[in-house]
């Protein structure tokens, strides 16, 4: 069946967001690839073909959110929120501007963007997938602010599942564990040691493994599956 409507991947320049864009490239007639880095978005759009449209926008700003919303030209079918900023510091070392920037990028901006997108026309499957984090449910050193933003966006998604269910929307969460992307930054080696000793699978995950679950929730999950949270973490939460 020919794909119709519009899909959106927010954070398409990230490792997980890019993998989600690749996994979902055939699930809408037009897929908006949203992010802040024009060159990476252009390269990804060229890879995915004519259905992919790069949208350079920072959703932490009102201008960026408006840019995304106005780029929707056909009924919106699904949205994947894979955008986020990392912040790994003790709270005592953080400046107010750092904290505000992470909340704006990881929680406030996405919430306001969803509010705008819910005002446009939608068509089935009416799916929203939020990429959270196991940091939302695990208390980790130097992750207090980042974990708080992820806990907030996960709770927002659960609340929206209850709020939007009567209108036919499905809202679900995918919570990655340690996944091999540039997001790990300078912590990659330390996290690799932690994974080797504390994660049942004994390895770092791949972005495509997260994207496969996102694709399922967008394209293949039953209509009764909403408000769910799937941890793609190699079993880390199972032995918390």
CATH number at residue 230: 3.40.50.720
Would you place residue 2 in the very low, low, confident or very high pLDDT band (cuts 50, 70, 90)?
A: confident
Domain membership flag for residue 146: yes
146 is catalytic: yes
pLDDT on residue 198:
85
The catalytic position among 78, 146, 169, 183 is 146
- How many Å apart are CA 182 and CA 84, to the nearest integer? 12
174 close to 81: Cβ distance less than 8 angstroms: no
Helix, strand, or coil here: 91?
helix
pLDDT on residue 183:
73
Domain residues for 86?
6-239
**Residues 26-48 pLDDT 10s:** 999 999 999 999 999 999 999 99
Looking up tokens 């089935």, which residue turns up? 124
- Considering Cα of 56, then 59, then 65, then 68, what sign does the dihedral take? positive
This prediction has a pTM of 0.94
pLDDT on residue 58:
97
Domain membership flag for residue 132: yes
Domain membership flag for residue 1: no
Residue 90 CB burial class (10 angstroms; 0-12, 13-18, ≥19): exposed
* Structural domain total, the chain: 1
């Amino acid at each position: 069946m020919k794909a119709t409507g519009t899909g959106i991947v927010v954070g398409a320049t990230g490792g997980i967001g890019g993998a989600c864009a690749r996994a979902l490239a055939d699930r809408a007639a037009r897929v908006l690839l949203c992010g802040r880095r024009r060159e990476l978005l252009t390269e990804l759009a060229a890879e995915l073909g004519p259905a992919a449209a790069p949208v350079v926008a920072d959703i932490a700003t009102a201008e960026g959110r408006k840019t995304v919303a106005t780029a929707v030209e056909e009924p919106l079918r699904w949205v994947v929120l894979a955008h986020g900023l990392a912040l790994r510091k003790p709270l005592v070392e953080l400046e107010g501007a750092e904290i505000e920037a992470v909340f704006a990028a990881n929680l406030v901006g996405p919430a306001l963007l969803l509010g705008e997108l819910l005002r446009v026309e939608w068509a089935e499957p009416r799916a929203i997938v939020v990429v959270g984090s196991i940091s939302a449910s695990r208390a980790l050193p130097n992750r207090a602010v980042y974990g708080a933003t992820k806990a907030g966006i996960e709770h927002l998604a659960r609340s929206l599942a209850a709020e939007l269910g009567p209108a036919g929307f499905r809202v679900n969460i995918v919570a990655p564990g340690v996944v091999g992307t540039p997001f790990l930054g300078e912590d990659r080696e330390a996290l690799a040691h932690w994974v080797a000793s504390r994660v049942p699978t004994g390895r770092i995950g791949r972005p495509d493994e997260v994207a496969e679950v996102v694709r399922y929730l967008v394209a293949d999950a039953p209509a009764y599956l909403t408000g769910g949270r799937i941890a793609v973490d190699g079993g880390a939460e199972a032995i918390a």
